[in-house]
Each structure stands twice: as structure tokens, then as C-alpha cells.
Amino acid sequence: MIADDEAWAAVLARDRSYDGSFVTGVLSTGIYCRPSCSARHPRRANVRFFKDGGVAREAGLRPCLRCLPDDVSREERAVLMAIEAIKAAGQNLALADLAARCGYSPTHFQRVFARATGLSPAAYARALQKERMAEVLSGAERVTDAIYDAGFSGPSRFYAAAEERLGMTASAWANGGHGVTIRWAVVPTSLGEMLVAATDRGVCRLSFNEDAAALRARFPNATLEQGGEVFARLLAQVIAAVETPGDHSHIPIDVRGTAFQEAVWQALRAIPPGETRSYADIAAAVGKPGAVRAAGSANGANNVAVLIPCHRVIRSDGSLGGYAYGLEIKQRLLDKEREANRG
């Protein structure tokens, strides 16, 4: 069961990705809702969270007629069934066929599928094909490496998250940097050892407390070279950007993600230094207000710290949330920016 604070934040954000993981009981009205219910929010004092509709009914509550909380599992089953069918076919299937298999009308099913996945069935099929291609190119071993690199505790957790992100590939560089020369250096900064790596198009990795081996694992097929004159100039700009916050949008970056990830990264770059946004803000900024968790995943998949300022995203309750390089660095980056703003 999710902690009450997280559950309440999900309710306030009407975060659809939590539908099915708990229900919101409203003691004053005697009904229970799915977290994303569009009805006016109840007062926190009147709310109690239940594992599912069954437990809420045992407590004497009735299902909300607006959001039909007991239909979540039916919808989930339908979406999973459709996903299985698309996977098995290896291509998109006609919407009418998918809907009929799951017992929905086409328009209703399209809505149910999009609510659960953030994508239409057709877009899901395309994303799936793209991901399969990436897996073939990168090889099974490397997918497994990528799972651990991405910070997941194990493959099943990863595949669960990948399912959530639906075809949004776990490794931005599907072919491991084949045919690409990457120049890199590790330099001391006031935030600790910083690794900067760049292709001839721009910075492709900026991280803290990482070494050459980690870089090699990310780009197993690239030619890694230290230093170089052009790189040295870029490196100086990057160091200045980290030490002296401000507008560093002139520094070229070379990242590759899914359309959704790239939209999130763009939204992050639009946050002014020293300011912060919530995951819900970012999801809304990319036009997918229901995709709060997916926005969080895209934020976490950022490979270029600081220049794509994922440190400017915090929890909606104002607490820092997570950071790939530790909360201390996140806090110090924000502090530095606020100091610079005060001039």
C-alpha cells in the first residue's frame, strides 16, 4: 500500500497512473473514487485510503458513479489484453478489432487505452516496433546492463517500468555509440568529480562521481578518446556553467530519446535557473497532464545533468525528491542558482 502522503499527492494531481493502486474513500459522503476522479477534491480530513474497492465496501462505502472505481481492473485487463495482442501480431491491429476483443466500443476503448498508456494503440504499436529494433541492435547483454545502469533493482522491476513507459527505450543510444568518437574528461568541481563526454555534435553525458568504466558501459561501441583541443573549449564552457549558474543554452548537447522524453527534456530546459517545478507541472507542460509518472521516468533518464536541469524538478509537496547523484548535489545546485539570482 502506498504511503498516505503519496496517495494524497496523486489525488490532488489527478494522476491516472495511480488508478488501480488504491481508492480514495470520502467518509463525509460515503463514496470511494479512483485517484484521478474528476469530481471536486474532498477535504483531506474526510479522506481515508483503501487498498481497493473491496476493502472500501467492507468499510461501508459505495463506488462513485462518476469515476467508476471498480472498472479500473476491467480496463487494465482490457489494456493488457490489447497489448498482448499487438505484441503477438508484431504490428498494429485495427482499433475496431481490438475494442471488440475487449468488449468495448472503438471510441471508448481508444480512451481507456490512452488513459492507461498515454498512447493510442497505433502509437503504442509503433513504439513497440522501435524498441524491438533497438534491442536487436544493442544485443540482449547490453539491455541487461542498461537495466542496472538505469538504477533498477532487477529486470522485472525494469520491465514493469518499461511497460509503464510503453516502448520508450531504456537506452538512449541503442547501438552503443557505434561509429561515434566520444571525447571525455573527469574534472574536479565544487560539486565533486564531474564526468563530461561529448560527440562532435555536443555533450552526450554529464554526470558526477562516474568513471571511464561507466562511460564505456554506456557507449560500448564508441571510440573513447581523452581530451582534444575542441573538446577542451567545450569542457571549459561546461565547467563555467556548473560553477557559475545562468543561461547556458548555447552549449550544444547531443541526446537521443523518445519523442516524449525529448519533450520532457525541452520542458526542463525552459525552467529558469533557481526555480523549481513538480513532475505534474512538467507532465502538463508537455501536454500530457495524466503522465506524471512517465514525466518522472523521462526526468530520470536524462543523461546530461545540469545542462538539462533535472535537478529543478522537486516533489509537489516541496521536498527535494530524488537525484541520480544524491540529494546533496541537487540541493547545492539549486542553492548556487538562487545565490546567483540574488546577484
- Under the rule (CB under 5 A), what is the footprint of Zn ion? 33, 37, 39, 64, 66-67
Measured from the CB atom, is 55 or 122 closer to Zn ion? 55
Measured from the CB atom, is 39 or 122 closer to Zn ion? 39
Smallest distance, Zn ion to C-beta of residue 62, A:
11
Measured from the CB atom, is 35 or 176 closer to Zn ion? 35
Smallest distance, Zn ion to C-beta of residue 9, A:
17
| Catalytic annotation present for 67 | no
CA 338 to chain centre: 26
Ramachandran category for residue 103: left, alpha or beta (phi over 0 → left; psi -120 to 50 → alpha): left
Catalytic residue among 33, 37, 64, 67: 33
154 three-state secondary structure? coil
Which residues does 316 contact at the CB level (< 8 Å), separation at least 6? 9, 12, 13, 278, 279, 280
Measured from the CB atom, is 35 or 274 closer to Zn ion? 35
Smallest distance, Zn ion to C-beta of residue 40, A:
10
Q: Give the cell for residue 206.
A: 554529464
Compute φ and ψ for 304, nearest 5 degrees.
-120, 90
Smallest distance, Zn ion to C-beta of residue 59, A:
16
Q: Say which residue the cell 543561461 belongs to.
A: 247
Catalytic residue among 37, 64, 102, 310: 310
CB-based burial, 106-124: b 16+ in 10 Å, e otherwise = eeebbebbbebbbbebbbb
| Catalytic annotation present for 204 | no
Task: Report the catalytic residues.
Answer: 33, 310
